[in-house]
Each structure stands twice: as C-alpha cells, then as structure tokens.
Structure 1
Amino acid sequence: MTESFTPGAGPTRGDALVDQAFRILRDEILRHELLPGSRLSVPEVARRLNISRSPAREAITRIAFDGLADFVPHKGAIVASIGAEDLVHIYQLREVLEGLAGRIAAEQIDDAGLSELENILEAHTVAVRTGDVETHMELDARFHRVIRESSDNSRLIESLNRLQGQVRLAMATTHLLGGGMEKALSEHRTIIDSLKSGDPGEAEKVSRNHIERLRHNLETAARSETKETEKMNE
C-alpha cells in the first residue's frame, strides 16, 4: 500500500522529504508494485506522496543513481529492467565486494552480530525445509546485510546495498534467480564459521566462493535462455 506525507507532521526539511520519498519509491519498486517500464513522473509522484515537485524530482534521481530506474529521452525516468547479462555483471562485482566485506567483518564483527547471523540461519533453515522461496530470499539478503554492516565501511555498505537492490529488482524481470536453497544454507553456515574463527583470508575466500557459485549458475542459465530464444526465432 502506497504511503503519503501528512502536511505538518514529521520532518519538514527538504532533505528529509527526499529521503522519505526515496524510501517509499524504492520499496514500491523492490516489492514489484512499480513494475519495470513504469514511468516515474515527477508531477505524479509529487501528487501521490503529497509533496512538492522538487523533493519528488530529487528522489527519482536517487532511484536512478541506485540503478533502479533509467532516464529515457522524451519519456523521463522509468523503472529499470535488469537483463540476464546485467545480472551476471552484478554478480561479478558482488563476488569481489562480498569477499571484502567478509574479510573486514572477520576482524570486526562482535558477539551480537554473530548471534544475529545464527538467528537468521535458524529461521532460514525452516524456510528451506518448508520450501518458502520468498522468505529464503529475504533471509539471504538479511544475512549478507549483517555481514557488510559489520565491516563499518560506509562506502562498501552503500555499494552492496545498491547491488542488492538491483538483484531484487531482477526478480521481476528474469527467471534466472532461485533454486539451490539447501546449498546456500550450507554455504552460509561455512561463512559464519569463518567469521567466528577470526580468519580474514578464510572469510574472504568462502564469501567469494559463495557468490562465485551463484554467478556460474546465472551464466549457465543465461546461456540456456539465449539458446532457447534463438531456437524460437529460427
């Protein structure tokens, strides 16, 4: 359900309005309430969220900066569509950055962070056992978010947050994601163990291996999808 602003309630500063509008639009896109190809009209966003055009325009610009929208000549901003090749490229970058996050987290994560990862893994186990794909995806994202936030590196956190948003958007535009839940669960267990050991090199290696496997799966699926498309066009 779309949120809106109430005049006179809450923060009134321009940057606060931009932040809130950005979060609402981002959530709508990632929940697939705004589908790929949907137009992000400044007047419409301003009207719908009960704000002026200036913060609406800035919020849309931030959405585009995060890779969730594209600016198209004569059309303005539209919700982006993440294709198979784009998704593979995203995972190539994730492989490096998630590895770095694991390396740093191995040196900095505290008991509270490790406990949170264990709790996520426990809930994740239930989701996998019951075949709950949606919860699996949500817990997978939470797991990696805890690790990157434990790095206390704002640039790294921001970069991975942006990539994770693009991955979630891709769920609405490609059938290449999904599957391998049991394997992901096992790899998350290995990552937690590496963080507990405090070995940065090992934590980086297993974190990279985890994303690398997913990337290889995506590449294989993308090639298969391309071949099927070529056959249909023959």
Structure 2
Amino acid sequence: MIEPVIETLRHSRKPLLVSDIDEVVLDFLDPFQDYLQSENHWLNATSFRLNGNILSTVDDAPASPEMVDNFQERFFEGQDRWQRPSPGAHHALNLIARHADIVFLTAMPPRHSAVRRQLLDRHALHFPMIATEEAKGPVVRDLIGGRGVPAAFIDDIFYNLHSVRENAPECLLVNMMSNATFRALAPEPGHGIAKAENWQQAATMILDHFGVDVHL
C-alpha cells in the first residue's frame, strides 16, 4: 500500500531515492535462470525479453507466453529461495540512507509482497516497499508529494524511467541492470536518463544530485 509510505514521508525534508528491486537491489535474471533449470528450461540471451527466449532443455522448444507467465509466478512465490542482493547494493543503500529517505518500488503483483518483504529483511534491507503493477511515474510523483526535496529514481526498464520522467521531471533518472549480458542487449533508455553499470557508479550520481560529497 502506498498510503502508509506517503504518510511516513509527509514531514520529511530529506532527499528521496525511489529504487526498483529486481535487477537493481536483488539479482533477478541469474536466479531466474537457476529456477528455469529446475523446470527443465533455460534462458537464451539473444534479445531483451523473456518471451521467445525461454527454451526447453529437452528439445529447445520455446515456452509459450502462458508458460512464461507461470514460470514468473512460481518464481516469485519462492523468490526467497532463489534471489540475493545485487553486488554492492547493501553498502550503497546504507550509505545513501545516511543522507536520504529510501523507498523500494517493485513492479510485482502485490500478492507476493509478504515473501519479498521477508527476503529483504533477511538481508537487512529494511527500507519501506511498495509492490504495484501500476505505472511507476504517478507513484513516484505522489511519494515526492510536492515537498521540494531532491529526488532520484533508479530502474532497469526504460518505460518505468520514462513514466517517472513524465510525472516527476525533477527526478534524477538512473538506468542500471545487474546482469551484464542483458544490460548489453537493452535499448538505450533515452534522453535525460543517466546510465550506471554498478551500485558504486549509481550511488555517486545519486549523492551528487543530493548535494552530498562522499567518496565511495
């Protein structure tokens, strides 16, 4: 639910970082490939998409869109057995948290939010989390709430970044993806969006935007 998170931020004058989770805070593609192996399938990294690239280990037949959806559903049901923090995420987020509020915004069915919350807490990533399948731009706009604080948004998917650019143009926008193979296949994120290859680069950009001089 977004309302309780907005309420906690209402009187804050700290800068705000809103961060995606999959492929940003938590590795997704590598663990998902491990999961697919358990289902006798594998991910063929030939383009920046899942549909058409998930193949049977028996005969390389592509999984149908319905099967891809089912794989993702079952993966998220058991994500706490597969996913782990992305390299550098814990250190960078805790450093940023000394100077800013942090909110996780994940494009995941809310029915899986309890499992994800437990997974994040297990790794001492206790920041507030919103799970939604709605567009991210309006959510980020509401989180900023007209407080006039510096804000940043980090995500691996360009249309989420575009949504925030349209709804919260004052935000620093950072495109980052943990998996280097799929990062190389990703389309260019577009005008006004910075690119980071890792959390050290991202944190430097974010803290600089917040006016904080920190050597990582």
Global fold match (TM > 0.5): no
When normalised by structure 1's length, the TM-score is 0.28
Report which of the two has the higher share of helix: 1
Report which of the two has the higher share of strand: 2
Pair member with larger Rg? 1
